[in-house]
Amino acid sequence: MTLKGLDELDRRILHELQRDARHVSSRNIADSVDASPSTVRKRIQRLESEEIITGYHAAVDYKNAGYQLFMQIECTAEIPLRRDLTEKALDVSGVVSVRELATGESNVLVGAVGTDSNDLARIARELSDLGLRVSDEDLIQRDLQRPFSEFDPAAGE
């Protein structure tokens, strides 16, 4: 299913879930979109089965959790190996996210968390041992996210 296959109800449900999936229920969404809770539940199930919704994740402030260093590691993987290497990178202890990029020389971005520079050096070494070429490392101060504006019914007003 593509964005064109999503109707207004699907988009509103996605917006509510992106805004705060933990504190919104089918009944809450139903009340705000003028649909029944069962309709909302069925739509969510369909969005999950069609892999439009791929999971529900907690947003963690690593610094407040005691992990002082949050780093983005830019890596390069050979194109034929990139998909396999990105999946293997998730198995490295301390790696919390991996993004596979379609363009550019640095085509894999790894998010890693550690308590000290030794942790981050170990993670970079293990990524390198997998076959990823580490090209840059950046300490992340803050990581902010928001729901996609096209799913917000008020965005067009």
CATH topology of domain 3-57: Arc Repressor Mutant, subunit A (1.10.10)
State the average pLDDT for the chain: 89
pTM for the model stands at: 0.79
Cβ of 102: how many Cβ atoms within 10 Å? Answer: 6
Give helix 37-49 / helix 26-33 axis angle, nearest 10°.
Answer: 110
- What residue spans in the chain does CATH classification 3.30.70.920 cover? 69-139
Is residue 112's pLDDT more than 50?
yes
Residue 122 or 142, more confident: 122
Cβ of 111: how many Cβ atoms within 10 Å? Answer: 17
For 23, the token pair is 């504190």
Burial of residue 77 (number of CB atoms within 10 Å: 0-12, 13-18, 19+) = buried
pLDDT value, residue 126: 97
Nearest-angstrom CA–CA distance, 113 and 9: 37
CATH number of 69-139: 3.30.70.920
Q: What is the pLDDT of residues 60-105, one digit of tens each?
A: 888 888 888 999 999 999 999 999 999 999 999 999 999 999 888 8
Burial of residue 69 (number of CB atoms within 10 Å: 0-12, 13-18, 19+) = middle
Cα first-last separation, the chain: 26
- What residue spans in the chain does CATH classification 1.10.10.10 cover? 3-57
Q: Is the dihedral of CA 13, 14, 15, 21 positive or negative?
A: positive
Cβ of 123: how many Cβ atoms within 10 Å? Answer: 23
Amino acid at 117: S
pLDDT value, residue 2: 47
Tokens 């990139």 — which residue? 82
